[in-house]
């Protein structure tokens, strides 16, 4: 399968207001460059180690998205260049991002990850926790982050109606937060990041405007490869 062709055929079916993040985790730079050379610029990685190995070795106009769990003690490694952190799942982590960004005189865009799946293994806040965070005094004082919306992952299941229900639920949470929590300089909700290779069509139907697609672009991942 040709990467440029895969990208092209996905972009053809995406509505114009849906952004495609090419998830390049586990793939070497040479492979990722084929998507870059085809004109793609937004890439997603789920591990800080991998992200900081690849980013300096690749063209500087790439927008790097961190889509996997972020530990507080790793924030300092990515503040210089990360474009959007999709996986903020605690006030503590947001505080650390704010602090590190302030140290660099920057403002970093983030999404809050919401837990919508059955699996307990998936990270994320629930709706009440998101509301508490957005309404907290701590949050209102953070000047170096901007929460741009929400991210979620559906249950890994063949049951498409369950996946649809979970995405629909996240869209409803997003809409009700937009309604209930007034926009401020650091709460500017515009992005709903949901949908991967197996379920991005369902996610878009449910209201996603950012999809994170890996294997449908780059092929299957080999986690055993070095």
Ligand X SMILES: *Cc1c(COP(=O)(O)O)cnc(C)c1O
CB of 84 to ligand X, least distance (A): 12
CB of 198 to ligand X, least distance (A): 6
Would you give the DSSP letter of residue 117? Answer: S
Nearest to 113 by CA among 134, 137, 130: 130
Pairwise CA distance, residues 145 & 185, whole Å: 9
Nearer to ligand X, 198 or 207 (CB): 198
Beta strand 19-23 pairing with 42-45: parallel
The residue whose Cβ lies closest to ligand X is 214
Nearer to ligand X, 22 or 142 (CB): 22
Cβ atoms of 66 and 79 within 8 Å: the answer is: no
Nearer to ligand X, 72 or 197 (CB): 197
CB environment 11-31: b (16+ within 10 A), e (fewer)? eeebeeebbbbbbbbbbeeee
Residue 57 neighbours by CB under 8 Å, 6+ apart: 29
CB of 193 to ligand X, least distance (A): 8
Nearer to ligand X, 25 or 146 (CB): 25
Query: In sequence order, which ranges of 57-159 are alpha helices (DSSP H)?
Result: 91-103, 127-134, 137-140
- Binding stretches for ligand X (CB under 6 A): 23, 25, 46, 67-68, 153, 196-198, 212-216
Nearer to ligand X, 133 or 153 (CB): 153
CB of 77 to ligand X, least distance (A): 18
CB of 103 to ligand X, least distance (A): 27
């Amino acid at each position: 399968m040709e990467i440029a062709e895969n990208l092209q055929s996905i972009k053809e079916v995406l509505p114009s207001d849906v952004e495609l993040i090419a998830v390049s985790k586990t793939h070497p730079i040479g492979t990722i460059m084929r998507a870059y050379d085809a004109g793609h610029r937004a890439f997603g990685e789920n591990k800080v180690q991998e992200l900081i190995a690849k980013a300096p070795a690749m063209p500087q106009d790439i927008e790097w998205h961190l889509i996997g769990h972020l530990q507080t003690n790793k924030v300092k490694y990515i503040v210089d260049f990360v474009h959007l952190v999709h996986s903020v799942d605690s006030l503590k982590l947001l505080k650390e991002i704010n602090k590190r960004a302030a140290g660099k005189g920057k403002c970093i865009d983030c999404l809050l990850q919401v837990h919508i799946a059955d699996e307990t293994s998936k990270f994320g806040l629930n709706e009440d926790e998101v509301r508490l965070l957005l309404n907290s005094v701590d949050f209102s004082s953070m000047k170096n982050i901007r929460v741009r919306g929400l991210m979620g992952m559906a249950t890994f299941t063949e049951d498409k109606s369950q996946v649809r229900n979970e995405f629909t639920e996240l869209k409803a949470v997003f809409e009700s937060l937009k309604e209930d929590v007034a926009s401020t300089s650091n709460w500017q909700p515009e992005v709903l990041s949901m949908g991967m290779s197996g379920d991005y069509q369902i996610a878009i139907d449910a209201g996603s405007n950012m999809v994170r697609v890996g294997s449908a672009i780059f092929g299957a991942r080999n986690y055993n490869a070095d």
